[in-house]
Amino acid sequence: MHSTLEQLQQSMAATPSFDGQVAKLVHLTNANGMTASFMDIGATWLSTTLPINGESREVLLRSPDMAEHMQQGAYFGSIVGRYANRIAAGKFTIADSHYQVGINNGENSLHGGLEGFDKRRWTIVENSPQQAVFMLHSPDGDQGYPGHLDVKVTYTLTDDNTLHIAYEAEADQATPVNLTNHAYFNLAGEGSGATALTHSLQLSAEHYLPTDSGLIPTGEQKPVAGTSFDFTQPKLIGQEFLSEADQETAGGYDHAFIFNSEFTDGKKVAAVLIAPQEDVVMKVMTTKPAVQFYSGNFLFGTQGKSKEYQRYDGVALETQYYPDGPNHPEWGQSSGVLPAGQCYHHSTAYKFEF
C-alpha cells in the first residue's frame, strides 16, 4: 500500500499544477486494507486499491504525473461541473435570461466549459482516516454560468468496501448544476490489459437518450428493449458493441441511461459492473435519475499510469441529471436547473465486492 501512496506523492504532488502550486493529497484506508486517494485539484479521486490475493489491485485509471494530468482531456476521477456532460452550443435560457457558457467540445460545452471544476483547487476542509471533505466557491459568471455557487463534496470509505460520495451545493441565482465524478474503472486492474469490452454491466434502466452527431440528446427517451442498449440483465459490454447507428455515432457507448425511478433512492443497486474474471463486482447506488455510461471511446493516446491508454481501457459510470438538461425544461428536475437558495443534495456510492 505504501508504494501506491509514495508513487502518488511523487507523481502528483512533486510538480506544480494549474495554479503554480503543488497538489495536496488525501489517503483513506478501511479495516480491510482497501484504499482511496484524492487530490485537491479537481477534488479528484486518483486511486483505489483492493487487497486481492495478497496484492493491491489498482482499479482506477489515472495520469502518470501532474504534467500529463494537466494535458489529458479524459477528466480522470475529477469532480466535473458546474454542469456535467454536454450543453448544446453552450447556450441556455433561465427565466427569460440568455446565457452563453464556454465551448470546449466541438460546437458544444462539456463538463463545465474551458475551466471547469476539474481544473480548480478545492479546499480540503476535513480529513480523517476514512473521510475527506472538499469545498469550492464558484463566483457569479464563472465560465458564463449565473450566480455564486458553493459546493461541498464528501468522500467516505466505509468498512464494507464502499466509497460514498455526497454532493451539496447552493446558489444565490437559479443556475444549472449537475455534479458527478468522472472515474474510469478497470476492475481487472489498471495495467491488466483487460478492456471495458470484457467487463459485464447491468443497468436498472429501461430507457436511454439517443444523440445527434455532436452527442447531444435528441430529446427522445427510447426504450432499450430489443436494442444493443439493453443492459437490464448482466451483459458483456463488448457483446453488441458498435452494432447500431446510435453507438456508431459515439464510437461505442457514451449515452445517458435513465434509471427506473425505484432505483434512485441511493440505497437500491442501480448499476453493476463485473470484472472479466468475475473476481470483483462493483455495485452503484445513487439518488441521481440517470447515468452516463461511457466505454472509454476517446481514451486512445492518453498517457496513463502504466502505459499509453487505448480506446476502451476503462469504463465510466457518471451518475447525473440528463445531458443538455437546461434546454429541456420538460424533463422537470432532471433538467438540472437549481433554483436560487435551494439545496442541491445528491449521493452516489460505489461498493466493491471481492
Query: Could you list the active site residues?
Result: 182, 318
Grid coordinates belonging to 86: 454536454
139 CB neighbour count, 10 Å cutoff: 9
Please report, for residues 11, 26, 283, 309, 334, the alpha-carbon distance to residue 351 in angstroms, rounded to integers and kept in the order given. 27, 20, 5, 25, 25
Instruction: Report DSSP letters for 50-88, one per residue.
Output: EEETTEEEE-B---SSHHHHHH-SS-TT-EE-SB-SEEG
Long-range contacts formed by 296-303: CB under 8 A, 24+ apart: 296/184, 296/195, 296/196, 296/252, 297/250, 297/251, 297/252, 297/253, 297/254, 298/73, 298/74, 298/251, 299/61, 299/74, 299/184, 302/63, 302/72, 302/73, 302/74, 303/63, 303/64, 303/68, 303/71, 303/72
Beta bridge partners of 208: 222, 257
> Rounded to whole angstroms, how far apart are CA atoms 207 and 205?
6
- Residues annotated in the binding site for beta-D-galactose, as ranges? 85-86, 182-184, 254
Q: How many residues does the chain have?
A: 354
Cite the annotated binding site by residue number: 85-86, 182-184, 254
Residue 349, strand partner residues: 164, 285
As a whole number of angstroms, the distance between CA 54 and CA 32 comes to 12
11 phi/psi in degrees, rounded to 5? -80, -35
Q: In this structure, what C-alpha cell is assigned to residue 195?
A: 478492456
Residue with cell 444549472: 176
